[in-house]
Amino acid sequence: MSGDDLCFLPATDLRGRIGRKQISPLEVTRAVLARAERLQPELNCFITLCADEALAEAKSAERRIMRGDSVGILEGIPFTVKDLVNTKGVRTTFGAIPFRDNVPDHDAVAVGRLRAAGAILIGKTTTPEFGSKCLTDSPLFGRTRNAWSKARSSGGSSGGAAVAVASGIAPLAVATDGGGSTRIPAACNGVVGLKQSNGMIPHSQAPDAFGNQTYVTPMTRTVADTALMMQAMAGEDACDPWSIGIPAADFIDRALPHGDLAGKKIRYCLAPAGRKVSADVAAAFSAGLKTLEALGADLEEMPGDGFDVEPIWRAINHTVWRTRFERLAADHPDELSETFVRQLALAQRTSGIDYQQAMFDRTLLFRRVQSLLQRADALAMPTLSRTALPLEQELFGTIEIDNEVFNEVRANWFPWTMPFNMTGHPAVSIPCGFGSDGLPVGLQLVGRFRGDAGLLHMCALFEAAQNSLDRWPREADGGLR
C-alpha cells in the first residue's frame, strides 16, 4: 500500500490495522506528514506542523503496541487541531498576528481527551482571526484553498480542518462551530462535520459557559470516524455546566449502518422564507431526500418561516466579540484585518436591550425547533445555498447564486446553520452529491436535543446508501484544479 493510499484510510480502518500490527503508528505518521508537507504549499491549510513531536509520539505508541500494553481507542492515529483550540506546548495563534507567538501551557479538554486516547497531533489548521467568518483567510497566513479546486474558498471558519481531512492529510480533525464554522467547510470540501448538542463535548475555552453558542467539534471523512472521535471527546467535565449529567453513549456502536429508517419521520425544507438555493444544490438535496425515503423514512415538508436568525446571531455574537476584542483592536490597529475591525464596529450598534431581546428570541427559536421535533425524528435541509465561493470572496462582498446577486453573504449562503448554534440541537453536514461545477454539496440533518447518537445512526445509513466514499480530491486525479 502506497503512502497516499494509507493517508486515505478511515481512522476506524487504521485502528484495526494498528491493533493487529499490520501497520505501525510510525508508518502512518510519516505518511501523513509527508503528504502534509507536499500539499501545504498548494492548499495552505496548516499554520503549524509539529513533525518532530508527532514522530516521537508515534515511536512511543509503537513501543506500547509491540509490548502488548493496554492502549487507547485512537492509539497511533493522526489528528489535527484548529488554531483556535488550545494545545499544550504547540503554538495557538487564533489566526491573529498579535497572538502569532502564543504557546498555551495546557490542552483544551477535548484535545486532552484525544491525546489520552492515543491520538497523535500532527499540526494546527488555519482559521480566520478568532474564527470570525465563513471564509478561511487571515493577514497572518493568507488564504486556504478548497481541497477540490484551488480557485475556490475552503469555507470557514474551520477551513483548514476540512481541507486537511478531505485531501487525505489526516483522518481526524478538531474544529469549532459558532454559526456553522464546522458544517460550512464540511459542505464545501465534501466531508462530515458535526455540531453536537450543547454540552455533549465540554467547551473549556468558552468565556460565557451559560450563554455559549460555540462548540469544539469533530470533523472526519466518514460517519464512523466522527463516532470514534465523539467516543473519545464526549462526557461531562466540571468546566462546562451544560456537560454535567449527560449520560454516556456508545457512539461507535450506534454509528454502524445496521437496519433502516422505517418508522422514522423527517421534516424537510429547501430554504428559509425569502432565501434562494441554486438549482444544482436543489437537485442534490432532492436526491438526498429520495435516498432517505428509500431507507424507509417518512418525509414531510415543513414551512421555512421563522428561521431568519441573522438579527439574533448578530446581536449575541457581535456583542461577545466587542467585549472580547475591542481593547485588542485598539492596541493593535495595524495588525488586524479590515474585515475583522468592521465586524467589531457593527457591535457598537447593539444595546443592552437589543442583546436581551435576542436572548428572548433565542428561547423562542429553541421552542419552535422543539415543537417541530416533537412530530419528527430529524429535520433536513441543504447545508449551503450554493457550492464553495470563489477564493477571493470577501465577507462584506456580494454573493452570486445562479446569476442572481445578493448583498449579504451570511444570510444568503448559510441561512440554515446558525439557527442550531442558537438552539443547541445536534446538526451535521454530510456529503450528498456534487454540483454542476464538480464541487461537493452538503445535506444538513438536525436531530433531537442530545439525540446525537441517533443522528449519527441516521447519517451512517445515509452514507452507506450514497456509496460515495471512494471519491476524494487527489492531486494526481486533477483534484486541485
The stretches of 104-254 forming alpha helices (DSSP H) are 109-116, 159-166, 183-189, 223-233, 251-254
Dist. CA 463–CA 224, nearest whole Å = 10
User: Would you state the cell numbers that stand for residue 247, as one nine-digit string?
Assistant: 449520560
Phi and psi (nearest 5°) for 80? -120, 165
**Dmax (CA) of the chain:** 63
Of the candidates 43, 297, 266, 290, the residue with the CA atom closest to the CA atom of residue 154:
43
CA distance 387 to 414: 11
Strands 378-382 and 440-447: antiparallel
Q: What's residue 453's pLDDT? A: 98
Asked if residue 93 lies in contact with residue 216, where contact means CB atoms within 8 angstroms, the answer is: no
Q: What residue type is assigned to position 420 of the chain?
A: F
Sole residue written with cell 483550540: 85
What pLDDT was estimated at residue 135?
98
Would you state the torsion angle of the CA atoms of residues 469, 470, 475, 480, taken in this order, to the nearest 10 degrees? Answer: -50
CA distance 422 to 220: 24
| Ramachandran region, residue 259 (left: φ > 0; alpha: ψ -120 to 50; beta: rest) | left
Active-site residue, selected from the candidate residues 149, 181, 204, 243: 181
Looking at residue 248, what is its pLDDT? 87
> Which residues in the chain land under pLDDT 70?
475-481
What SS3 class is residue 66? Answer: helix
User: Cell numbers at residue 347, please?
Assistant: 457591535
pLDDT of 475 reads 60
Q: What's the pLDDT tens digit per position in 436-453?
A: 999 999 999 999 999 999
Q: How far is CA 432 from the centre of its chain?
A: 16
CATH for the stretch 3-303+377-477: 3.90.1300.10
Q: Which pairs from 202-205 meet CB under 8 Å and 24+ separation?
A: 202/109, 202/110, 202/235, 202/236, 202/237, 202/239, 202/240, 202/243, 203/109, 203/110, 203/239, 203/240, 204/86, 204/108, 204/109, 204/110, 204/237, 204/239, 204/240, 205/84, 205/85, 205/86, 205/108
User: How confident is the model at residue 477, as a pLDDT?
Assistant: 41
Neighbours of 5 (CB within 10 A): 11
Annotated active-site residue in 24, 82, 154, 158: 82
82 is catalytic: yes
Name the grid cell of 82: 484548529
Active site residue: 132, 149, 154, 157, which one?
Answer: 157
Domain locations along the chain: 3-303+377-477
Q: Which three cell numbers stand for residue 176?
A: 469549532
pLDDT of residue 216: 98
Q: Give catalytic status of residue 132 as yes or no.
A: no
Nearest to 315 by CA among 422, 223, 408: 422
> What beta strand segments (E) does 109-152 contain?
120-125, 137-138, 142-143
Question: For residue 328, what pLDDT is reported?
Answer: 97
